[in-house]
Amino acid sequence: MTEPRRPRRLRRLSSEESRLWAEISRLITPLRGRAPTPVAPSPPPAPEPAPPKPAARPARPAPRIPAKNGIPKSGLPHSIAPKNPAPPPAPTLPPLAPLERRVRTSLRRGSRSVDAVIDLHGMRQAEAHAALIGFLHRSRASGHAVVLVVTGKGAGGDDPYAERGVLRRSVPHWLRMPELRPLVVGFEEAAHHHGGGGALYIRLRRR
């Protein structure tokens, strides 16, 4: 009597066999009326964890600017920043005036003498300029009204090529400059006995 055959135990497929079977199943055309056996998709790989971000440093506070007049500089808009006040305009002086008629007449007749005299003849321009400024300041401080400045006519001299009459032309120009205009009321050529064309009468402004 023949013994009945024992049923075979089904062996489970290995992972490699399952992968091959899935590839073959995709290539087989299914019969009509039968739906293909769905193949479970393989799970997507797990994403790698992102590296941790470095901790941000706290922002440094802006340096404090010391306040001026009770208002911080950082709080002032650029358009309203304080500006230095403009200097006051210089006072306008009246134009130079000639000597008064009675003063001129008395000087030319010799009935009146000048209050002070300075002789610039023979000085260099820079030396004569400084001497003239000092002389006029001292004369005004002393209360003088009319002074005499001797410039020389420029004739003669040891150097035949030297320019003649430099001080004679320069002194009137200096008297019109802003540094001396507050002191000088007017000037004109002196009388013959005071030097004529080589000297000037200068009338000083009162203090």
pLDDT tens-digit map of 92-135 = 777 888 899 999 999 999 999 999 999 998 899 999 999 999 99
> What tokens does 191 get?
């009388």
Angle value at C-alpha 45, between 40 and 49, nearest 5 degrees: 150
What is the Cα 76 distance to its own chain's centre? 20
Domain extent listing, the chain: 114-155+164-204
pLDDT in tens, 13-34: 677 877 877 777 777 666 665 5
Q: What does DSSP say about strands 116-119 and 184-189: parallel, antiparallel, or unpaired? A: unpaired
CA-atom Rg of the chain in angstroms: 57
Burial 95-117 (b: 16+ CB within 10 A, else e): eeeebeeeebeebeeeeeebebe
Q: How much is the pLDDT for 137?
A: 97
H helices of the chain, in order, are: 15-27, 101-109, 125-141, 166-175
CATH of 114-155+164-204, one of 2.60.40.420, 3.30.1370.110, 3.40.640.10, 3.30.70.360: 3.30.1370.110
- Whole-model pTM? 0.54
